[in-house]
């Protein structure tokens, strides 16, 4: 079975992804270079794991890395709109700058929940670094904390995409590119 045959089309190749990740990491390095304390990078498991790994290896600061898990999709293609946090941080973010790393911002519900969670833990600022931004599906305005910034890799058209960590029913995360999954494979 070839996973490539399940794709309608490829939106971003492995080379395009790596170039963009390097650009974002350079911007984060620049933005936090003069900060009194380096940021804590918090990846949202499981979808952001490849993006997180590639990103942190290119940030030239003495950063700390942690993970949080929020669930809102299950085995569906649409968010249920009511995310829950199923794995919390081990690092203390009180008084710290946090960069929340997401695979995709879709409705904004999960991201808004996570930003609120980090703020309740006392983060002095929360920035968002998302690999894909899908504003066409946004239901919630994203409100950053403190001097937080919004970093994005690519603006994603309103397709159901997989690859580079993103999945359907826990499959396709291992693809080195981002592709549009053929409907017959998720309906």
Catalytic residue numbers read 106
Q: How far, in Å, are 44, 83, 94 from residue 71 at the CA level?
A: 10, 5, 24
Q: Which strands form 161-162's sheet, in the order they lie side by side?
A: 7-12, 178-181, 161-162
What pairing do the DSSP bridges indicate for beta strands 40-45 and 7-12? unpaired
Which residue, among 170, 168, 121, has the nearest Cα to 6 in the 3D structure? 168
Let me know: does 11 contact 41? Beta carbons within 8 Å. Answer: no
């Amino acid at each position: 079975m070839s996973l490539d045959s399940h794709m309608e089309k490829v939106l971003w190749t492995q080379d395009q992804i790596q170039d963009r990740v390097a650009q974002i990491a350079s911007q984060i390095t620049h933005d936090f270079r003069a900060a009194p304390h380096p940021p804590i990078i918090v990846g949202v498991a499981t979808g952001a794991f490849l993006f997180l790994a590639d990103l942190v290896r290119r940030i030239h600061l003495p950063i700390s890395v942690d993970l949080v898990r929020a669930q809102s999709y299950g085995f569906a293609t649409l968010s249920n709109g009511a995310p829950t946090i199923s794995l919390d941080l081990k690092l203390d973010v009180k008084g710290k700058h946090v960069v929340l790393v997401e695979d995709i911002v879709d409705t904004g519900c999960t991201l808004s929940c996570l930003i609120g969670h980090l703020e309740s833990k006392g983060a002095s600022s929360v920035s968002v670094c998302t690999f894909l931004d899908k504003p066409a599906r946004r239901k919630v305005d994203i409100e950053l904390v403190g001097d937080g910034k919004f970093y994005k890799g690519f603006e994603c058209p309103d397709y159901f995409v997989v690859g580079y960590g993103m999945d359907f029913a826990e499959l396709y995360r291992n693809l080195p590119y981002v592709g549009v999954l053929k409907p017959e494979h998720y309906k």
